[in-house]
Structure 1
C-alpha cells in the first residue's frame, strides 16, 4: 500500500466484492484463430465524446467471424451497461449445448455479482486477461479503433444529436454483420457464411438502458 500522511488511509482500488472475486484464467490465451460460432465471445466498453454528452458503448462480438452479437448504449460504463449487452447476447442463442467463453477486461463490472450471476445461470465461462497484459483483449480494442475511424474520420459526427449518432452505430453494426465481405469467411459476410447457420434467434440490439435517468436517450 502507498504510504499516506498520518491519520489518512489509502482508498481501495476496487470495491470489496470485486477484490474478493477470484480472477479467471485467460482462457483464449490470445488465440483468436477461427473457431465455431458462439465458441468465444469478447466484450469491453468504450466512450464517445460528442456534443450531446458522453456515450458509452458495450458490444458483444463473436471471435470466430466478427459478428456483433449484441450491444448496449448508455451514459456510464457501469454494470448496468454491460449486463444489458450480456442479457441481449444470451437471448440470441437457441440451444445451450455449447455456451461460449466470454472474454472481457478485468474492470469491476465484469466481476460484479450481477454479471457473475448471469454468467452462471446461462452456463457461460468467464475469462479475464492476465495482469498488465493488454494484448489479451486486443481484438476488441481493434474493433473499437476501426469503429471510431469510420464514425469520426470518414464523417465527423461530434456535433450529431444522440439519435443520429445511435442510428449511425446501428447502421455500421448491421453492415459489419451482413454487408462486410471478408476473405477469411470465403468472401462472404458473417451472416452469409456457411458457418453462420448457427442455432440462434434474431439478433437483439441495440439494448438501451431501461431507466431514463441513466439513459443518454432520456
Structure 2
C-alpha cells in the first residue's frame, strides 16, 4: 500500500498536517523541504505548481490547504466534529478562520522579518499585522474564557490543531503578548501533547 505523502517545511503551516497525522496514528511518507521551497526546491513545482507547503499526495490527488488536509486526516476519528454534533458549524468556522483570519497576518510578519532581505524589511508592516492578528486572536480568548478546555465539543479536535498552530506561530515570532491568558494556557496544553512533541521531533530528525 502506498502511504500518503506530506511535503513539509519545519514549523511551517504544514506542521498542522504532521501533527494531525501523529494524533490520528496515521502513517505517512514525510518529505522535508527547505523554506521557502519556491526558492530552494525548484523541483517541487512538479509536485505542487503553487510551490507552497503543505503538499499532500494520496491516490494521485494533490491537496494544498492545511485545514483541508487535517479534515482528511481526521475523517472517521475523534479528531473531527461530525455533522450531527451541536458544535459542527462552529468547528467548520474555526477551521476556515485558522488560516484566512489568524495565520494570514502572521505570514506577513514572517515575510518582513525573515524572508525579505534586510533592505526590503518593513517594520511598520510588521507592527500593523501583529496588531491585526491581536484583534482577531481575541476570538480564541472569548471562546475559552468560560473555562472551556478545547474549542469544540468538549474534546481535542483538529480545530485546536489548526487554530493552535496560529497561536504557536505567534509565540515563535515573539508575539505572544497578543494572546490572552486563557489562550496562552490552552496553547501550553497543546504543545505539551505527545502528538505535537512527536511531530516536531520528526520534522527535526535526520533524513534516512
- Fold match by TM threshold 0.5: no
TM superposition score normalised by structure 2: 0.29
Q: Return the structure number with greater strand share.
A: 1
TM superposition score normalised by structure 1: 0.28
Q: Return the structure number with greater helix share.
A: 2
Task: Identify the structure with bigger relative contact order (alpha carbons < 8 Å, sequence gap 6+).
Answer: 1
Higher gyration radius (CA): 1
